[in-house]
């Protein structure tokens, strides 16, 4: 899974032999979890409808898994064979190299205006939007209703309440009272959720890295001393616990609480686990900021089809298509029009708590070309901050140094 969950589509584009038709190549990510709901099926249906109404334009879509899609696109770009479009996990590297069309270059004004404001802003580099949000997600604290009821607990609103609930769950033999996945799969997400709940974050108010801020050090010191150090995070060291394993353990009834995104609802429901969801607890009450995640659509200049790409993307972002994709994969829509529909439609009731968080969410600093290196460093090192003998201050200081060097190298 990408930031959200998956990505793919392949590219290289040109005119077909003498016909005058334009073939647009798209590489996209796969958000499905089986062949039955592969994203290839979604795109095939969408393309069929589009081509039936637009003669002279063909759309060639190739879908890759999230573990392959970003690499595939990079290989094509490096070989001078960039696709016309790529739906991937990041955009800023390509934007910094001047390889992408801006939203203004392609999209209609109505399509641009429909993007959620914070998502559109997150897609900007120096005030120009190059990353088009394609799918979004937020995080909530999931808790096992059965375990909580048996222990006479109520969902926590503060860190201290979370620790007290975890202590009570541990006393009743719950394997993972609070699952803290700081393993290399997606440690940057769990880390950000906790930093935000402590009124910190990866960056400060003006967008400068501040990973070793006093607030962040306090957050990880509390995690180390009050959760991990007291044996409330389970038998697997947080630095060795990946998100997928934590989700599986929750679905198996072995986890009292953990942070999760919408896909966990389906995973838990399949195993018959009764769960509840509440905003992430903070120091003195529910966290004021939620973590948001977005995946991105990009359009490369290489083949010079701005007009054709723009018209196709206007179609992709039509309300009904955004709704269809979001509903198929339990993701949040990136447009205001689709969000309004889902907020009021009974069939989308399960996603409403996540939708409510989206306007107030904070995303990774994806506008920074340094973010990929910083995220990789967080995945590798953050687990040591809460390990026995580890130092939150030292680990966060090392990560800040990595971030500073990555920024200065751009």
19: pLDDT strictly greater than 50: no
Supply the DSSP symbol for 225: I
For 198-217, write each residue's pLDDT tens digit.
999 999 988 899 999 999 99
Q: What pLDDT is attached to residue 4?
A: 55
| Residue 249: alpha-carbon gap to chain centroid | 21
Question: Which residue shows structure tokens 């029009």?
Answer: 337
For 89-105, write each residue's pLDDT tens digit.
889 999 999 999 999 99
Least confident of 246-260, 269-283, 362-376: 362-376
The b/e string for 121-153 (b: 16+ C-beta within 10 A; e otherwise) is: ebbbbeeebbbbbbbbbbbbbbbbeebbeeeeb
For 123-149, write each residue's pLDDT tens digit.
999 999 999 999 999 999 999 999 999
What is d(CA 279, CA 276) in angstroms, rounded to the nearest whole number?
11
For 29-82, write each residue's pLDDT tens digit.
999 877 888 999 999 999 999 999 999 999 999 999 988 999 999 999 999 999
For 218-231, write each residue's pLDDT tens digit.
999 999 999 999 99
| Number of neighbours of residue 5 by Cβ within 10 angstroms | 23
Q: Which of 144, 163, 351 is nearest to 252 (CA)?
A: 144
User: First-to-last CA distance in the chain?
Assistant: 27
Residues 233-254 have a mean pLDDT of: 96
What is d(CA 297, CA 87) in angstroms, rounded to the nearest whole number?
4
113: pLDDT strictly greater than 70: yes
11: pLDDT strictly greater than 50: no
Q: What are the tokens at 404?
A: 């500073």
- Structure confidence at residue 235 as a pLDDT band (50, 70, 90): very high
Residues 262-282 have a mean pLDDT of: 94
Longest dimension (CA), the chain: 74
12: pLDDT strictly greater than 50: no
Residue 285 burial class via C-beta count within 10 angstroms: exposed 0-12, middle 13-18, buried 19 and up? exposed
Supply the DSSP symbol for 199: T
247: pLDDT strictly greater than 80: yes
What is the chain's mean pLDDT, rounded? 92
- Structure confidence at residue 1 as a pLDDT band (50, 70, 90): very low
Q: What are the tokens at 362?
A: 């904070």
Give 185 or 179, the one with higher predicted confidence.
Answer: 179
15: pLDDT strictly greater than 80: no
């Amino acid at each position: 899974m990408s930031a959200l969950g998956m990505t793919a589509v392949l590219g290289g584009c040109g005119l077909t032999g003498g016909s005058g038709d334009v073939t647009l190549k798209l590489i996209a990510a796969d958000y499905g979890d089986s062949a039955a709901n592969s994203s290839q099926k979604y795109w095939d249906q969408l393309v069929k409808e589009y081509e039936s109404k637009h003669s002279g334009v063909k759309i060639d879509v190739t879908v890759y898994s999230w573990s392959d899609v970003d690499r595939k696109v990079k290989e094509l770009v490096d070989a001078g064979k960039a696709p016309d479009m790529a739906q991937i996990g990041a955009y800023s590297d390509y934007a910094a190299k001047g390889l992408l069309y801006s939203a203004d270059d392609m999209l209609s004004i109505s399509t641009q205006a429909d993007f959620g404001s914070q998502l559109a802003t997150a897609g900007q580099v120096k005030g120009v939007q190059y990353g088009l949000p394609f799918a979004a997600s937020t995080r909530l604290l999931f808790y096992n209703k059965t375990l909580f009821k048996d222990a006479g607990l109520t969902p926590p609103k503060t860190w201290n309440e979370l620790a007290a609930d975890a202590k009570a769950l541990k006393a009743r033999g719950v394997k993972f009272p609070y699952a803290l996945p700081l393993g290399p799969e997606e440690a940057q997400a769990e880390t950000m959720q906790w930093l935000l709940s402590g009124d910190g974050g990866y960056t400060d108010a003006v967008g400068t890295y501040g990973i070793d801020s006093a607030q962040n050090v306090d957050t990880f010191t509390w995690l180390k001393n009050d959760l991990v150090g007291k044996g409330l995070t389970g038998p697997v060291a947080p630095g060795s616990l990946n998100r997928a394993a934590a989700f599986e353990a929750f679905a198996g009834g072995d986890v009292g609480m953990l942070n999760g995104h919408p896909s966990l609802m389906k995973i838990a429901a399949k195993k018959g686990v009764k769960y509840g969801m509440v905003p992430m607890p903070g120091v003195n009450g529910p966290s004021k900021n939620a973590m948001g995640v977005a995946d991105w659509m990009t359009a490369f200049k290489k083949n010079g089809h701005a007009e054709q790409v723009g018209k196709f993307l206007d179609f992709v972002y039509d309300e009904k298509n955004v709704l269809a994709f979001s509903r198929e994969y339990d993701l949040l829509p990136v447009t205001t029009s689709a969000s309004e529909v889902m907020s009021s439609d009974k069939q989308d009731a399960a996603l409403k708590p996540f939708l409510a968080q989206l306007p107030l969410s904070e995303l990774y600093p994806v506008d920074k070309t340094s973010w990929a290196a910083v995220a990789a460093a967080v995945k590798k090192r953050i687990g040591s901050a809460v390990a026995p003998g580890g130092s939150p201050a030292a680990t966060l200081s090392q990560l800040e140094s990595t971030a500073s060097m990555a920024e200065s190298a751009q």
